[in-house]
Amino acid sequence: MGVTIHDVARAAGVSVASASRALSGRRKVTPEVAERVARAAAELGYQPNAVAKALRDQTTGTIGMVVPGIGNPFFTTIVEAVEHELQNSGTDLLLCSSRYEPQVEARRLETLLARRVDGLIISPCDIEASVPAVLDAARRVPLVQLDRHIEGGTADWVGVDDEAGVTLAVEHVISGGARSVVFAGSRLVSSSARLRLSGFERAAARAGVEILPPLLGEFTLEWGIEAGRRLLDSGRLPDAVVCGNDEIAVGLLRSLRFGGARVPEDVSVVGFDDVGHATMCDPPLSTVRQPVEEMAAEAVRLLGQVKAADPRPAQRIAITPRLVVRQTSRPSAAGVAE
């Protein structure tokens, strides 16, 4: 059996009530008592009962987070950034993956709510199917969406300005001489997938270049490989491919290289995220960098302001990304070279 508050009180020579007050810090005790109790607790290795503390304070010191998949380097990176931000306030993170399935996502949310988390951060896997579970959770605890969001704008959100990011990519490849462009992205089930495709189409239309039919599958390396094969099999490569994320771009590069296409001489390729393999692939990937640390900091800050079932209008914070030019795109004046 572990050390109890009774043991600490006995060792410090005070009542259990005094020991409890000293350790909780919620009510004052004399400096002498506080010092004796702290010393006794340290010597005995006393660990407060987190469940009992939660029942007293109505908090657990935990935040739940649900992401579509931790196998995606972007979500791994943003989870680490959120956890780092929470550590500054002594808050722990409970992480779940929805596996890109709305039904699993709903169960994960219920599991975290049953654990009495103080708030939730979620990247919804489906812009439409995730709506009921996300809104239900937001009525019960403070909730902030991060990166992706549900349809309707009825819950707080922090993320990258997807349209601004993909516009940077389109303008970059066009300034490098591209006159025909194609978008390789994900099926339109998430806000990120929809906004990046629509942003690409608007930017390319404004520039007056030829827009080839989009290649839509998944945000995965495997889909990037398949998209590259389809481009090679079509018999006509575009001048540039803008990808929905870096995983797709890396897979696409692999296929193009295997098929004998030269990058960027024959076709420019630009990704989106700047995490994972962007600097390690051959050649290093030009991409749009998501400000992950800033996004995480804003999400945690906003979560601290949100209340469950808050009647105020939902806040939407879109953070501007930047273009990082490496070696998979033809040189231009735009972007930050690395």
pLDDT digits (tens, 9 = 90+) for 118-140: 999 999 999 999 999 999 999 99
Contact criterion met (CB below 8 Å) for 78 and 68:
no
Within 13 Å and on the Cβ side, how many CA atoms surround 143?
A: 24
Per-residue confidence (pLDDT) for residue 305, from 0 to 100: 87
Q: What are phi and psi of 16, to 5 degrees?
A: -60, -40
Per-residue confidence (pLDDT) for residue 250, from 0 to 100: 97
Per-residue confidence (pLDDT) for residue 210, from 0 to 100: 98
Average of pLDDT values for 183-194? Answer: 98
Does the pTM of the predicted model rise above 0.85? no
pLDDT at 30 over 60: yes
Average of pLDDT values for 135-159? Answer: 93
Q: Are strands 322-325 and 286-289 parallel, antiparallel or unpaired?
A: antiparallel
Average of pLDDT values for 99-104? Answer: 97
DSSP characters for 195-255? HHHHHHHHHHHHHT-EEPPPEEE-SSHHHHHHHHHHHHHTT---SEEEESSHHHHHHHHHH
Q: Please report which helix (H) or strand (E) contains residue 273, including its range.
A: strand 268-273
**Secondary structure (3-state) at 136:** helix
Per-residue confidence (pLDDT) for residue 334, from 0 to 100: 46
Mean pLDDT of the chain: 91
Per-residue confidence (pLDDT) for residue 51, from 0 to 100: 44
Percent of the chain with pLDDT over 70: 93
Per-residue confidence (pLDDT) for residue 331, from 0 to 100: 81
What is the tens place of the pLDDT at every residue in 244-264? 999 999 999 999 999 999 999
What is the tens place of the pLDDT at every residue in 224-235? 999 999 999 998
* Sign, CA torsion 221/227/232/236: negative
What is the tens place of the pLDDT at every residue in 327-338? 999 986 444 555
pLDDT band at 55 (very low <50, low <70, confident <90, very high): very low
- Which of residues 71 and 224 earns the better pLDDT score? 224
Contact criterion met (CB below 8 Å) for 197 and 188:
yes
Q: How far apart are CA 63 and CA 300, in angstroms?
A: 10
pLDDT band at 199 (very low <50, low <70, confident <90, very high): very high
The length of the chain is: 338
